[in-house]
Structure 1
Amino acid sequence: MARALVQATLPHLDPKTHYFERTNGLVTLSIVNRPQVGVPYGTLPRILMAWLCTEAVRTQNPELLLGKSQADFMRKLQLATGGRDVARLKDQAHRLFSSMISLTGKRGDETGLENISIAKRAMLFWNPRDPEEESKWESSLTLTADFFEEVTSSPIPIDMRVLHALKQSAMAMDIYTWLTYRIFLLRSKNRGQVTIPWERLRAQFGAGYGSRRSLTATPEDQAERDRKATSHFRFAFERRLREVLIFYPEARDAIDATKAGLTVRACALHIEHRPSWRTRDPVTLS
């Protein structure tokens, strides 16, 4: 998975807008697209991103071949080829490939900015009425030079089988990729453990569990709303975390959920990193 999209995640649900923003204290993720297209959301863009990154690393080529039919590509993604799934994939692929993603990080007086455009060119010869129909030409996607360099020089290794097993929940998929990365960072930086407050985790993973700001609410009322929203998020997060740990059992004894936050300790890596991969990490969210 691309490092930038592990640090700040895509929306879980449809924000019903062409602009999405999420801030986690240190980093702001923003996604913008044309109004008639909208931003990518849910589990499909995450599967798409993982496949794109994996293929780029495997082939070391920015041009990725998607197959001669949409059904062919869906089988590469290990997705069902039914009518509803065909429409959803086409919609989410369009949203993802045409989006502009920006990450802005601030720490004190320091500011960092990274713009991510995934696709330089996409040629999709898909028949919307017959996903099995083969075209004379193979559909392809060409990654931008910056994105290709990003994912091939410092990718986050994940197990695609685990990602598919968790694909009923976008949050579970995000927790899995984040936990894999977080434990790697602890080991690479020789840190024994880290504790992330629930409020910061809610900002990173649980945008849908926020408490709306009210112009008429007193500070005490708003604080109570935030407390309840964080409690609701923590319940959902721990539930999804238990699902993730089924597939990452080495981390079970390395995690403690307390009132202060989630403590993660260094433990065995889920997937070994290649020595040649850089640990470039200009802004760490949590």
Structure 2
Amino acid sequence: MTNREQKIVRQAYDNVVLPSEHNELLFQHAVLCQVYLPYRDPGVEVDNWVRQQGKAYFAIQSTKVFNPLTEKYDKLLGLPYGPKARLILTHINTLALQQRTSNIAVSDTLTSFVKSLGLPNNGYQIDAIKNQLGRLAASMISIAFAVEEQRAVQVNSTIIKGFDLWFPKDANQKVLWDGNIMLSEDYFSSLMNHAVPLDGRHLAVLANNAMAIDIYTWLAQRLHRVPLQKKEFVSWNGLKEQFGEGFSRMDNFKKNFRSTLRLVLTQYNSAKIEEDINKGFYLLTSPPPIPAKIYQIPKFNERN
């Protein structure tokens, strides 16, 4: 690693806030380990985001929310984006799987929730989490897998079904919510059957870099499925299509991708990936960040 990259890694560790009960096991939906939310705010004028990678399809659309001041649906929050939206989803997914319910109990203040994400507890972080939670709650999604040539499994729903978007405060000015987030049953059912385990300690280090989180989750769900003693090739064009949002020039994307990949591999250090400089990368079978033997996801129809 270059001196600059070593500095980035040290700074990442320095910025990590690990609560005493930090959860080392987090989950992301398998589709969102292959296709991703925007890296940056696309603005309220962009209300639809569609991505495809292989047989995975994802679309998200921003909708207007009810404004109690005007008593109308007149507020457009925009699409969720960036690393915080990704961290929020992994945390909410994990609570849903742990509690085996779509109506999940969360911290009673937003400050506590921010701490549980492993983020610094300050006004900037709280405002950013409020914003991303609101965007997630006000968005409609479509998640699909092409399972056969003429057959697909698709979910059209919200992710968060019930949520207080207006965040009242108590007498001490702590931002409150009602202590619950309700996921849609369709999303919850799909998550129960398509959840990818991730190491929360790794995500804590990558928490400020959306591309790093995406590369990490991609490798986490992909590498352990590569057949033994075989390599799977991914071209630079394919990588740019998947991870190259905002990059018009290939040389700039290659430089950024290589640097970000090196950061990811400081965490997922058992990942085996070899570069062909002029063509792309070869993926080799590797153990997942979280071995399957240490966790179990109950099937959706086994819930109490």
TM bracket (short chain): 0.7 to 0.9
Q: Is this contact kept in 2: 1:67–1:139, CA < 8 A?
A: yes
Counterpart secondary structure, 2:189? helix
Equivalent residue for 2:58?
29
Q: Which deviates more, 56-65 or 42-51?
A: 56-65
Query: Do the aligned partners of residues 124 and 182 (structure 1) sit closer, same or farther apart at CA in structure 2, a change above 3 Å counting?
Result: same
- For 2:282 and 2:41, the matched residues in 1 are separated by 31
- The answer on 1:192 being equivalent to 2:219 is no
Equivalent residue for 1:243?
263
Q: Is this contact kept in 1: 2:226–2:284, CA < 8 A?
A: yes
Counterpart secondary structure, 1:231? helix
Equivalent residue for 1:206?
244
Q: Is this contact kept in 2: 1:38–1:95, CA < 8 A?
A: yes
Letter of the 1:96 counterpart: L
Which of 235, 250, 258 matches 1:230? 250
TM-score, normalised by the number of residues in structure 1: 0.79
- The answer on 1:133 being equivalent to 2:168 is no
Q: Which deviates more, 138-147 or 157-166?
A: 138-147
Which of 159, 170, 177 matches 2:210? 170
- For 1:61 and 1:246, the matched residues in 2 are separated by 34
Comparing both structures, which one devotes a greater share of its residues to helix?
1
Q: Which deviates more, 145-154 or 26-35?
A: 26-35
**What is the number of residues matched between the two proteins?**
256
- For 2:111 and 2:147, the matched residues in 1 are separated by 46
Which of 261, 286, 289 matches 1:270? 289
Deviation, structure 1 residue 127: 3.2
Equivalent residue for 2:24?
none
Comparing both structures, which one devotes a greater share of its residues to strand?
2
**Ranges in structure 1 where 5+ consecutive residues have no aligned partner:** 211-228, 279-286
Q: Is this contact kept in 2: 1:70–1:132, CA < 8 A?
A: no
- For 2:133 and 2:274, the matched residues in 1 are separated by 35
Query: Do the aligned partners of residues 103 and 133 (structure 1) sit closer, same or farther apart at CA in structure 2, a change above 3 Å counting?
Result: closer
Percent identity between the aligned chains? 26
Letter of the 1:126 counterpart: F
Please give the residue correspondences for 1:38-187 in structure 2 after superposition, counting only pairs within 5 Å: 38-103=78-143, 110=150, 112=152, 113-123=154-164, 126-127=167-168, 133=174, 138-187=178-227
Deviation, structure 1 residue 25: 6.8
- For 1:94 and 1:173, the matched residues in 2 are separated by 21
- For 1:42 and 1:104, the matched residues in 2 are separated by 22
Equivalent residue for 2:49?
20
Q: Is this contact kept in 1: 2:34–2:53, CA < 8 A?
A: no
- For 1:105 and 1:60, the matched residues in 2 are separated by 23
TM-score, normalised by the number of residues in structure 2: 0.75
Equivalent residue for 2:275?
256
Query: Do the aligned partners of residues 209 and 5 (structure 1) sit closer, same or farther apart at CA in structure 2, a change above 3 Å counting?
Result: same
Query: Do the aligned partners of residues 143 and 230 (structure 1) sit closer, same or farther apart at CA in structure 2, a change above 3 Å counting?
Result: same
